[in-house]
Amino acid sequence: MGKRILSVDDSTSIRQLVQFTLEKEGYEVVSAVDGRDAIQKAKGKHADMVITDLNMPNVDGIELIRSLRSDPDYRFTPIVMLTTESALEKKDAGKNAGATGWIVKPFKPEQLIAVVKRLIG
Amino acid sequence: MDRQKELYREEAYELLDGLEESLMELEKNPKDLDVVGRVFRAMHTIKGSGAMFGFNDIASFTHTIEAVYDLVRDGKITVDQHLISLTPASCDVIREMLDASRDGTTPSVEKATLLTSAFMGYLPDSSEADTDRQAGSQPGIERQQVGDLVERTWRIRFKPHRNIFSNGTNPALLLRELGSLGTCSIVSHLEDLPDLSLMDPESCYVWWDVVLTTTADYNAIRDVFIFVEDLCELTIEVIDAPGETDDENPLYKRIGEILLERGDITTEAVMEALRSQKRLGEILVETKAIHPSAVQAALVEQEQVRAARRKRMAGDDTTSVRVPSAKLDALVNLVGELVTVQARLSQISSRRNEAELIGVAEEVERLSSELRDITMGIRMLPIGTSFAKFRRLVRDLSTELGKETRFVMEGEETELDKTIIDKLSEPLVHLIRNSMDHGIEPPGTREQNEKARAGTIKLSAIHSGAYVFISVSDDGRGLDAEAIRAKALAKGIIAPDQALSEKELYSLIFEPGFSTVTEVSSVSGRGVGMDVVRSTVDSLGGTVEVESMPGRGTTVTLKLPLTLAIIDGLLVRIDEESYILPLSVVVECVEITRHDQESIPGRHLVKVRNEIIPYIPLRKTFRLDSTPPDIEQVVITEIAGKRVGFVVDKVIGQHQTVIKSMGSMLKRIEGISGATILGDGTVALIIDVNKIVHHDEHVANALGTHEAMTTVTRPVHGPVSSRI
């Protein structure tokens, strides 16, 4: 346990929910408010997994995934994107950018936990 | 959840303020895509988070607006005055909805409907009817479905593409997740691995054949691989299911058949191989027709399905060999006597020290112990045979109570004496009912508490030493210690100032006439039932323990002896006579001097490590007039969570006891549950500790004083209530 997860979302309430849910499971959660913030925080200390929203100001989710994948430290790090049901193309774009998986909003806390467990144990 | 709702409201109000600012900018400069992007994101967040926190009206209202601005952002439509005037009006509607949720009122829908249809006008026809719904396969969601709980065996071939690592997937974790679904055998195929010099360390060359026996359904298995569907070849097939596959042959298929089915080999190759007489797998490998790991994978499948079918067959067989249990009892009885006689023979032979006699005695000892084990084994049945009917019970109760429940069984193969299994049925029904009725919350409540909708009831059996532990656990609301105390007070089961530990409070639920639920449902709460659990388990020489975590669930564990015919006993001596105390209740033995006894005159209390424990001098109980030795011994037992000591002259030691029932003349003697014959041929009485505690007035009387004293010492172990 004690794995480090970087959670990226411009919505405070979602960030809080993700953080609360995962910390309860024993993960360490670092939050970032958008892609730019995330890239910086990712460089600071390596995260074992990244959970990111797609629509964000400054650097959006797709760009973030691309940027992380081009960083040797994050080539094989699981990255999960939060998508909405209506954004099918977005999901594909994310997959092409190198996302490992996705979670469809709205989701329940246990679904989030299931996906995290699947990808980093 | 309320706290999170509040957080969302705050955020949404903020976003709306920002949104209105952006709209004013947009009015000045309708072509600024940056601003359009901001408007879109604000709507997107309001919608997405709204759906997360249960603001469905807001989510569905915002959905259309978001869709329109998405098109604007992509340059598919341009911003006009009409659109700019519609949007602030929408902000007002959203605000109204937020206000309404805060104040608990219902917002008017007219304006929202009007605006929605106005926004709809901007959408091309195709996208207007929500691309929604169809889109989302939610990973991880299948887990919560209540499967049909039939155990099937699946054949899964998972062949990742070389580049599977590139998106951060670790296939090993997927296999591990698969393993968590049931009994799982995995064979790795390494034959595609190139020479080290040619190997690309970032490619995946390994693939896997998995045979999984599980109650999870196809979708649940498929769901494990949802993220890698387009990064692997995946086949999932049922190869064994009770009642669904055409043959139930416990030998399952031959290796050749399995390999053919899997497409690993052609019919010709099999026929070719069959012509020679070696084992098929060896030949196929020798002739290089297939890789050894393919054969191994097939063997693994064969074995696992065989095992699954054998298990089913074993379940069926239990009904097919029928022997009247009276005959069995007679056999056990005879064996018991034989063992006793054998013990005497051994004693004599060691005393005489004649080589010939010792040889025979040892032979008899070996044979009789083998005979004893086998005879006891005949009475043992897998407990799963009686577990099965509880599945039905849980399902029926779920419907009746409007609750969703998953029923899990563990350790069905654990063996237990048939007599005990038969008697357990009723108590288990009561425990399960109780869990369903009082433990598991309604689905709505569970969701509010962030638990899975469906509760879980687990029935498990574990074999440990001479005991079997059977537990019924639920993940429901747990026991309410305070409610139990209040109820017990009202019913007069405990005294107002009685200090009780949590464990003792919990065990009050087994008192006759106890029920914390004021309303009687058809399922439980009638105040009968749970006391049946205690009395049955007592009569079987077992113990009951309750553990509970508020909000997390309750576990009731029954500790039962493997068999009723033999118990582990503690041999003690009182006035030259031997007695046996069941070892299962013994906690420790301490010495007590006459001085100790007289230091608290008139009361039978002993202080052990600062704990005051009432004791029963067995010499008095059995009305033996002889003088006790100066130093006696106290065997401290734990009965129904309370400690009671029994004073004896001397503790001899542990003794495997074959229980013989007393003759019909002596059957009604209270305090003695049976007798056994010791190695030297003398008889030892087996003490029924429960009965003796019941009837000892001193222990009951000791309570008043005892209570006063516990307040100065640790209040961990309360008094023995007058009820036991």
pLDDT (average), residues B408-412: 84
| Claim to verify: residue B306 and residue B346 sit in the same structural domain | no
Is there a domain that residue B721 lies in?
A: no
Residue with tokens 């889109």: B135
Q: CA distances (Å), B250 to each of B186, B308, B328, B368, in order?
A: 21, 8, 29, 35
pLDDT band for position B640 (cuts 50, 70, 90): low
Which SS3 state, helix, strand or coil, does residue A87 take?
Answer: coil
Q: Considering only A96-110, B359-373, B476-490, B653-667, which range has the smallest mean pLDDT?
A: B653-667
pLDDT exceeds 60 at position B340: yes
pLDDT at B148: 57
DSSP class per residue in A10-32: S-HHHHHHHHHHHHHTT-EEEEE
A95 contact residues in B (CB cutoff 8 A): 167, 230
The B residues from 420 to 459 touching A (CB cutoff 8 Å) are 450, 452
Give the CATH number for residue B699.
Answer: 2.30.30.40
Residue A115 contacts residue B169 (beta carbons within 8 Å): no
| Claim to verify: residue B288 and residue B365 sit in the same structural domain | no
B226 contact residues in A (CB cutoff 8 A): 101
Q: Which of A16, A84, A91 sits opposite B48 (nearest CB)?
A: A84
Residue B265 contacts residue B284 (beta carbons within 8 Å): yes
Preferred mutation among B2, B43, B49 to probe A, highest tally of A CBs within 10 A:
B49
A64 contact residues in B (CB cutoff 8 A): none
For residue B119, the distance in angstroms to the closest alpha carbon of chain A comes to 17
B8 contact residues in A (CB cutoff 8 A): 13
For residue B555, the distance in angstroms to the closest alpha carbon of chain A comes to 22
Q: Do A114 and B67 touch (CB under 8 A)?
A: no
B69 close to A (CB below 8 A): no
CB atoms within 10 A of CB B406: 20
Give CA torsion, residues B296, B300, B303, B306, to 10 deg. Answer: -130
B52 close to A (CB below 8 A): yes
pLDDT exceeds 60 at position B718: no
Q: Do A114 and B139 touch (CB under 8 A)?
A: yes
B222 contact residues in A (CB cutoff 8 A): none
A84 contact residues in B (CB cutoff 8 A): 44, 47-48, 51
Q: Do A85 and B132 touch (CB under 8 A)?
A: yes
| Claim to verify: residue B265 and residue B177 sit in the same structural domain | yes
B452 contact residues in A (CB cutoff 8 A): 110
B51 contact residues in A (CB cutoff 8 A): 84, 105-106
ipTM score for this prediction: 0.85
Q: Report the distance separating Cα B211 and Cα B182, nearest Å.
A: 10
Q: Do A55 and B226 touch (CB under 8 A)?
A: no
Preferred mutation among B226, B227, B229, B446 to probe A, highest tally of A CBs within 10 A:
B227
Q: Do B8 and A104 touch (CB under 8 A)?
A: no
CB atoms within 10 A of CB B425: 13
Is there a domain that residue B716 lies in?
A: no
Last residue of a domain, one of B266, B281, B315: B315
Preferred mutation among A55, A74, A91, A92 to probe B, highest tally of B CBs within 10 A:
A55
| Claim to verify: residue B289 and residue B409 sit in the same structural domain | no
The A residues from 70 to 109 touching B (CB cutoff 8 Å) are 75-79, 82, 84-88, 91, 95, 98-107, 109
Is there a domain that residue B135 lies in?
A: no
pLDDT at B387: 77
pLDDT at A51: 94
A100 contact residues in B (CB cutoff 8 A): 167-169, 227
pLDDT band for position A5 (cuts 50, 70, 90): very high
CB atoms within 10 A of CB B276: 12
Is there a domain that residue B412 lies in?
A: yes
- Identify residue A84 by its one-letter amino acid code: T
Q: Do B48 and A106 touch (CB under 8 A)?
A: yes
pLDDT at B278: 67
Q: CA distances (Å), B496 to each of B397, B445, B449, B492, in order?
A: 36, 33, 33, 9
Q: Which of B11, B41, B140 sits opposite A57 (nearest CB)?
A: B41
Q: Which of B41, B52, B66 sits opposite A14 (nearest CB)?
A: B52
A119 contact residues in B (CB cutoff 8 A): 168-170, 173, 227
Chain CA centroid to CA A18, Å:
10
Q: What average pLDDT is seen over chain B?
A: 79
pLDDT of A81-119, one tens digit each? 988 766 677 788 888 888 998 888 888 888 899 899 889
pLDDT at A31: 92
> Which CATH architecture describes the domain A4-120?
3-Layer(aba) Sandwich (3.40)
| Claim to verify: residue B21 and residue B59 sit in the same structural domain | yes
Last residue of a domain, one of B561, B596, B622: B561
pLDDT at B595: 79
pLDDT (average), residues B595-617: 81
Q: Do B135 and A118 touch (CB under 8 A)?
A: no
| Claim to verify: residue B432 and residue B464 sit in the same structural domain | yes
Is there a domain that residue B136 lies in?
A: no
B10 contact residues in A (CB cutoff 8 A): 12
DSSP secondary-structure letter at B527?
Answer: S
Is there a domain that residue B80 lies in?
A: yes
A111 close to B (CB below 8 A): yes
Is there a domain that residue B720 lies in?
A: no
Nearest Cα to Cα of residue B285 among B159, B160, B193, B191: B191
Residues 6+ apart with CB under 8 A from B608: B588, B590, B634, B636, B645
pLDDT exceeds 70 at position B517: no
Considering only residues B176 and B132, tell me which one the structure prediction assigns the higher pLDDT: B176
Residues 6+ apart with CB under 8 A from B712: none
Which SS3 state, helix, strand or coil, does residue B651 take?
Answer: strand
Write out the two tokens for B487. Answer: 């109820």
Q: Do B131 and A84 touch (CB under 8 A)?
A: no
CA torsion through residues B617, B620, B622, B627, sign = positive
pLDDT at B710: 33
pLDDT at A49: 93
Chain CA centroid to CA B316, Å:
25
How, if at all, do strands B543-549 and B232-240 pair?
unpaired
Considering only residues B516 and B107, tell me which one the structure prediction assigns the higher pLDDT: B107
Give the CATH number for residue B275.
Answer: 3.30.70.1110
**Nearest-Cα residue of chain B relative to residue A90:** B135
Q: Do A106 and B52 touch (CB under 8 A)?
A: yes
| Claim to verify: residue B538 and residue B401 sit in the same structural domain | yes
DSSP class per residue in B605-649: EEEETTEEEEEEEHHHHTT--SPPPSEEEEEEEEETTEEEEEEES
pLDDT exceeds 60 at position B723: no
Q: Do A107 and B38 touch (CB under 8 A)?
A: no
For residue A37, the distance in angstroms to the closest alpha carbon of chain B comes to 17
For residue B450, the distance in angstroms to the closest alpha carbon of chain A comes to 8
Q: Which of B143, B165, B173 sits opposite A119 (nearest CB)?
A: B173
DSSP class per residue in B363-392: HHHHHHHHHHHHHHHHHEEETHHHHHHHHH
Residue with tokens 């298990």: B311
A105 contact residues in B (CB cutoff 8 A): 48-49, 51-52
| Claim to verify: residue B487 and residue B629 sit in the same structural domain | no
Which range scores top for mean pLDDT: A96-100, A106-110, B434-438, B536-540?
A96-100
Give the CATH number for residue B459.
Answer: 3.30.565.10
Give the CATH number for residue B110.
Answer: 1.20.120.160
The A residues from 12 to 71 touching B (CB cutoff 8 Å) are 12-14, 16-17, 20, 53, 55-57
Which SS3 state, helix, strand or coil, does residue B557 take?
Answer: strand
For residue B525, the distance in angstroms to the closest alpha carbon of chain A comes to 33
Helices (H) and strands (E) counted in chain B, each on its own, are 24, 21
pLDDT exceeds 90 at position B240: no
Q: Report the distance separating Cα B449 and Cα B464, nearest Å.
A: 36
| Claim to verify: residue B372 and residue B400 sit in the same structural domain | no
pLDDT exceeds 70 at position B614: yes
| Claim to verify: residue B389 and residue B501 sit in the same structural domain | yes
A56 contact residues in B (CB cutoff 8 A): 41
For residue A26, the distance in angstroms to the closest alpha carbon of chain B comes to 17
Is there a domain that residue B648 lies in?
A: yes
Residue with tokens 């007489």: B277
For residue B221, the distance in angstroms to the closest alpha carbon of chain A comes to 13
For residue B406, the distance in angstroms to the closest alpha carbon of chain A comes to 16
Give B683's strand partners: B677
pLDDT of B272-322, one tens digit each? 777 665 677 777 787 777 888 888 888 888 888 888 877 776 665 555 567
For residue B259, the distance in angstroms to the closest alpha carbon of chain A comes to 31
pLDDT of A25-41, one tens digit each? 889 999 999 999 999 99
What is the domain extent for residue B534? Answer: 383-561
Domain parsing of chain A, residue ranges:
4-120
Q: Which of A14, A104, A118 sits opposite B49 (nearest CB)?
A: A14
| Claim to verify: residue B24 and residue B41 sit in the same structural domain | yes
Residues 6+ apart with CB under 8 A from B172: none
pLDDT of B163-196, one tens digit each? 888 888 888 888 988 888 888 888 888 888 888 8
pLDDT exceeds 80 at position A57: yes
Q: Report the distance separating Cα B562 and Cα B420, nearest Å.
A: 8
Last residue of a domain, one of B546, B561, B576: B561
Q: Do A12 and B7 touch (CB under 8 A)?
A: yes
Residues 6+ apart with CB under 8 A from B599: none
Q: Report the distance separating Cα B190 and Cα B206, nearest Å.
A: 5
| Claim to verify: residue B149 and residue B250 sit in the same structural domain | yes
How, if at all, do strands B683-687 and B577-582 pair?
parallel
B715 upstream amide cis, omega within 30 of 0: no
For residue B17, the distance in angstroms to the closest alpha carbon of chain A comes to 15
The pairs formed by B692-701 with CB atoms below 8 angstroms and a separation of 24 or more are: B692/B616, B692/B618, B692/B621, B692/B646, B693/B616, B693/B639, B693/B644, B693/B720, B693/B724, B694/B724, B695/B670, B695/B671, B696/B616, B696/B621, B698/B603, B698/B604, B698/B614, B698/B616, B699/B604, B699/B614, B699/B615, B699/B616, B699/B644
Tally of domains in chain B: 5
Which SS3 state, helix, strand or coil, does residue B149 take?
Answer: coil
The B residues from 228 to 247 touching A (CB cutoff 8 Å) are 230
pLDDT at B11: 86
Burial bucket for residue B351 (CB in 10 Å: 0-12, 13-18, 19+): exposed
